[in-house]
Amino acid sequence: MDMTSQLTAAAERLFDRHGYMATGMDRLTEAAGMSSRTLYKHAGSKAALMARVLTERHRRFMARIDVRTIDALFAALEDWVRVEGSRGCLFLRSRAETGGDTPEIAEAVALHKEAFHRRVSEVVAMDRGREDLALAEQVLVLVEGATHAAVYRGADAVSAARAAAAVLLERARA
């Protein structure tokens, strides 16, 4: 693994577990196993590193929810939570931590949430047989809710969201 992805992976782990602001560069260099000089050559700055982490996470998450049905969407979310744990949405968290004042971060978050909303709408449209923006908004709320409720309610939150989505889909079809 090259140094850049090694750094990005270590940074994602630390930022996710301890927060962006609470993670110092010394902990980053130690976890990434490289000198601060090398770190800055690859990352540019702490904010740029966070932006890179978000972009990378975006790719990984979107690949995971490349599905065709609403139920598969929640199954994918269950997998994600099992593998990555649940500490809330890293995109919303990083924006909140910086108050939206860090352009590189705010932009990465905006791009992700737009793409996420689009993907949910597509999945709902495929499953429902036609475009249904109202149902899509409900499913988006359920995914977001499962993500954040899982922080303190555990995996039950995701299965509850999954069951709720099934009811809403059935009702929309009737």
Partner DNA sequence: CGCAATGTAAAACGAACGTTTTACATTGCA
Partner DNA sequence: TGCAATGTAAAACGTTCGTTTTACATTGCG
Using CB under 8 A as the binding rule, whether residue 70 contacts its own copies is answered as: no
Residue 19: CB atoms within 10 Å: 13
Residue 123 or 157 with smaller CB distance to its own copies: 157
By CB under 8 A, name the one of 5, 21, 66, 118 that touches its own copies.
21
Using CB under 7 A as the binding rule, whether residue 36 contacts DNA is answered as: yes
Site residues (CB under 8 A) for its own copies, limited to 76-105: 87-89, 92-93, 95-99, 101
Using CB under 8 A as the binding rule, whether residue 17 contacts its own copies is answered as: yes
By CB under 8 A, name the one of 3, 113, 125, 128 that touches its own copies.
113
Using CB under 8 A as the binding rule, whether residue 142 contacts its own copies is answered as: yes
Residue with tokens 């790719």: 59
Q: Considering only 27-35, 36-44, 55-63, 159-167, which stretch makes contact with its own copies by CB under 8 A? A: 159-167
8 A C-beta contact, residue 149 and residue 157: yes
What is the number of H-type helices and E-type strands within the chain?
Answer: 9, 0
Structure tokens at 150: 């899982």
DSSP state of 114: H
DSSP state of 130: S
DSSP alpha helix (H) spans, 44-132:
46-64, 70-84, 90-97, 103-128
The one of its own copies, DNA, none whose footprint includes residue 125, by CB under 5 to 8 A per kind, is none
| Pairwise CA distance, residues 121 & 105, whole Å | 24
> Which residues have a Cβ under 8 Å from the Cβ of 1 and sit 6 or more positions away?
9
Question: Which residues form the interface with its own copies (CB under 8 A)?
Answer: 17-19, 21-22, 87-89, 92-93, 95-99, 101, 110, 113, 117, 134, 137-138, 140-149, 151-153, 156-157, 160-161, 163-164, 167-168, 171
Question: Which residues form the interface with DNA (CB under 7 A)?
Answer: 3, 21, 23-26, 33-38, 40-42, 45-47
